[in-house]
Amino acid sequence: MSPLSDKRILRGVIFDLDGTLVDSRLDFDAIRRDMSLPPGVPILEAVEQTESAAERERLQAILHRHELAGAEQATLFDGVPEFLKWLETRGLPRAVLTRNSRASTEIVLARLGLQFDMVLTREDAPPKPDPAGLLLISTAWNIPPAELLFCGDYLFDLEAGSRAKMVTALFAPVELPDFATQADTILKSFRDGVTWFDRHFQIGQAN
């Protein structure tokens, strides 16, 4: 993708977690099979729409088991610690917004030594593609959405960022998915994160 026509002013960066900063090797097809859900069905939405409380509890237990297993084996993508540190030294606040549970998210962050100014999970805000979590962060930081970047690896990330009126970046280390055209910019590797950031953006001053 070519650079944005004009460098966008940014005053904060928000990240998705799994598939963006870390690889937890979650097998979503296996989760659906364990839940007896059709292929491709969004898991959280299917659980939420389950009318039987007992069945909903069973599905949540399956998801919890898979997420905790993924949290215990999660690894960082190359270049993530260096890029996060660079953002910190430039005075940019950093946050995570994930569809994962708080329990699994806390395990990942503690195991891998990641620290953020804010971390929101599905217990804190409606799951993406709902933009509510992003807007909560924007409000907490007192930074307009247009001056924030949201970086994720999936369609729901891009949809949430777009609905929140934020700049969107797609992390695509292997190949570009069909929905890549919905992103404002593409990040192929965090090892190139500083160069990529300087190419597309400039850091805004705090109020």
Question: Residue range 9-31: average pLDDT?
Answer: 93
- Does residue 67 register a pLDDT over 60? yes
CA distance 23 to 135: 26
pTM across the whole model: 0.90
pLDDT of residue 127: 95
pLDDT of 43 = 87
Question: What stretch of H or E contains 168?
Answer: strand 167-171
Select from 146, 105, 140 the least CA-distant residue to 123. Answer: 105
Higher pLDDT, 27 or 33: 33
Tell me the domains of the chain and their CATH numbers: 8-22+77-203 (3.40.50.1000), 28-73 (no CATH)
pLDDT at 131 over 60: yes
pLDDT digits (tens, 9 = 90+) for 162-181: 999 999 999 999 999 999 99
Dist. CA 26–CA 101, nearest whole Å: 13
Q: Quick one: pLDDT at residue 97?
A: 98
Q: For the residues of 74-97, what is the DSSP string, one character each?
A: -EEPTTHHHHHHHHHHTT--EEEE
Q: State yes or no: pLDDT of 59 exceeds 60.
A: yes
Quickly tell me which residue has 């659980």 as its tokens. 47
